[in-house]
Chains A and B, each alone.
Chain A
């Protein structure tokens, strides 16, 4: 019997926002990538972030992951104060970020990559096999070095790592990039299942129509600010 890779207790703060940003400014060098963002995301929500290139969607996700600084304003993610360095470090362990890059080592095989990151993330090693099967990587692809994979297969491997990690907050930046129709449906179903298991998701995408069925709310980011839908 195959274990459900997404099942398990994922404690969520009750009655509190998973993400609460108030007038957040985040600088990349001297450039304000976020120039006063107000946004609240409740437990179990799937928030779609849309907007033109350079609008600040990626920086917004990185702020929520604790990877980009909060230079001004107040920010809380999963109850952690993101203006404090130690809190940012703590929140990193509880979120999962699928960015533009996949964080894979080209010389290692699919299985070696997933196993390394499962160990690094402190994930249950028993979740590796179900995750590989779920993402269609369990057969001939498992021993293939990642450098030999297509863009879509690399994306699936990165998603398998995220599934093993079982984050409380999924932060997905163009998750469908490079994937075929089957792969896109698979990502959608994994996100849906994670949310049903108690997780929350924020998805940046240039394909709002595709995510619309999945999202509970759509937020437009423009010029480093939220152009609509800041609060649920």
Chain B
């Protein structure tokens, strides 16, 4: 399973390196979403009862994760578009590769792309929203757990929608509701990592990690069945 996962992940990353969809489409899209959110909330507006705190800075964690999620939808679509364009999904089924390996490999490739995206969008958020960092370790834990959850869920539903003619609209319809608890937890934990207190953030980060494990396990168990049905 690990050998198969490595093979699939390396192939997907090589395709990404060649096509540069991450740098030319996904990343600019993420930045545009981030900037538009910034336009929607005036930087001069202050939190009620605290004239030193900007509303934009306060809501920055939520805006960041929504921007990541929207950009991730492009990555999910891309991940399965390369398999369905020339019938490669059938060839993968014929190859006898462990379906769990395909799931883990595709999720790992999406994970790496999203981590790069999040680092760059994070820099953008610092510049645009003037955010502070109170607990870097908590932030790293939240980013990893959330990204695992997003990658696993997107890969799972991406496979489900791969054989459908309406897959481009189906993936967001399936992924966004499924990830709403993760988005909620990631936002709360990121707020704690940025503004404290960190003691509030760790339990929520643990909950996000539990979701990540759940979605990953669901993908490992059910991916073979999904591939057979697409």
Q: Which residues on A are within 8 Å of B, measured CB to CB?
A: 65-67, 85, 89, 92-93, 95-97, 99-108, 112, 116-117, 119-122, 145
Contact = CB atoms under 8 A, between A and B. Distances in A.
B94 A101 contact: no
Interface residues of B, number: 22
Given A99-B87, A103-B87, A105-B88, A122 B15 contact: no
B86 to A, nearest CB: 5
Contacts of B7: 116, 119-120
A117 B18 contact: no
Given A104-B86, A106-B82, 19 more contacts: A67-B90, A67-B94, A85-B228, A89-B96, A92-B93, A92-B94, A101-B86, A101-B90, A102-B87, A103-B86, A103-B90, A103-B91, A105-B11, A105-B15, A105-B82, A105-B86, A107-B15, A107-B82, A108-B18
A104 B90 CA distance: 11
Contacts of B94: 65-67, 92-93, 95-97, 121
Contacts of B228: 85, 89
Interface in B89-114: 90-97
A112 B13 CA distance: 13
Contacts of A145: 18
Contacts of B93: 67, 92
Interface string B35-51: 00000000000000000
B105 to A, nearest CB: 11
SS of B interface (majority): helix
Contacts, number: 71
Contact of B18 (A85, A107, A121): A107
A121 B95 contact: yes
28 contacts: A65-B94, A85-B228, A89-B96, A89-B224, A92-B93, A92-B96, A93-B94, A93-B95, A97-B90, A97-B91, A97-B94, A100-B87, A101-B86, A103-B91, A104-B86, A105-B11, A105-B82, A105-B86, A105-B88, A106-B82, A106-B85, A107-B15, A108-B14, A116-B7, A117-B91, A119-B7, A120-B95, A145-B18
B13 to A, nearest CB: 11
B169 interface: no
Question: Closest 8 A-B residue pairs measured CB to CB?
Answer: A101-B87, A103-B91, A93-B96, A107-B18, A120-B95, A107-B15, A103-B88, A92-B94
Interface string B57-97: 00000000000000000000000001001111011111111
